[in-house]
């Protein structure tokens, strides 16, 4: 490039000031291109970091939800009260629908006194002690009736 520059200067087609100005503009254009590239790379990295952070947050929330569901399932399975031999039909509402469970007389009186509670479990309902129902309600209040 300097050969072309020197040839143009010698032939008189370009003066020294003009050559220096063109050279300076070329240097600035190169710097600007480097800065723009650097800024684009930094912006892309920042966007990727934000996207990764949001994905990790979403994964963490999903894991927490799964853990809560597992805790509720374990609480119900380990504390459910056997309803076998229930002769009394106990009717209650769930989501504006009337449901019916067959329970014993003792269980009926315990439900009315608040000693035991009805919880939604899988596709049905289970009876659990009130203290267990409170633990379940603290995790998901919609499951306790």
Q: What is the mean pLDDT of residues 118-140?
A: 94
pLDDT exceeds 70 at position 121: yes
Cα 90 from Cα 61, distance rounded (Å): 38
Residues 6+ apart with CB under 8 A from 120: 94, 142, 143, 144, 145
What's the pTM value of the predicted model, to 2 decimals? Answer: 0.65
Cα 70 from Cα 38, distance rounded (Å): 48
Q: How confident is the model at residue 98 (pLDDT cuts 50, 70, 90)?
A: very high
Q: How confident is the model at residue 12 (pLDDT cuts 50, 70, 90)?
A: low
Q: Which of 92, 91, 85, 82 is nearest to 126 (CA)?
A: 82
| Residues 23-52: tens digit of each pLDDT | 777 777 777 777 788 888 888 899 999 999
Tally Cβ neighbours within 10 Å of residue 126.
20
Could you write out the DSSP letters of every residue in 81-100? BP-TT--EEEEEEETTEEEE
- What is the pLDDT, as a whole number, of residue 13? 61
The angle subtended at Cα 128 by Cα 122 and Cα 133, nearest 5°, is: 90
Domain limits, the chain: 14-77, 80-143
Q: Which helix (H) or strand (E) holds 127?
A: strand 124-129
pLDDT exceeds 70 at position 1: no
- What is the pLDDT, as a whole number, of residue 112? 94
Task: Find the range with the poorest average confidence among 85-89, 102-106, 110-114.
Answer: 85-89
Q: How confident is the model at residue 58 (pLDDT cuts 50, 70, 90)?
A: very high
């Amino acid at each position: 490039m300097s050969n072309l520059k020197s040839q143009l200067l010698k032939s008189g087609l370009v003066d020294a000031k003009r050559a220096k100005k063109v050279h300076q503009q070329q240097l600035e254009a190169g710097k600007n291109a480097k800065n723009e590239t650097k800024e684009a790379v930094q912006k892309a990295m920042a966007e990727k970091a934000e996207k990764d952070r949001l994905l990790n947050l979403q994964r963490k929330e999903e894991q927490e939800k799964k853990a809560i569901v597992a805790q509720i399932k374990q609480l119900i399975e380990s504390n459910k009260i056997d309803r076998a031999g229930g002769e009394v039909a106990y009717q209650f509402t769930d989501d504006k629908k009337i449901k019916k469970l067959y329970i014993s007389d003792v269980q009926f009186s315990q439900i009315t006194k608040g000693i035991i509670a009805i919880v939604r479990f899988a596709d049905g309902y289970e009876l659990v002690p009130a203290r267990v129902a409170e633990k379940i309600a603290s995790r998901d209040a919609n499951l306790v009736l």
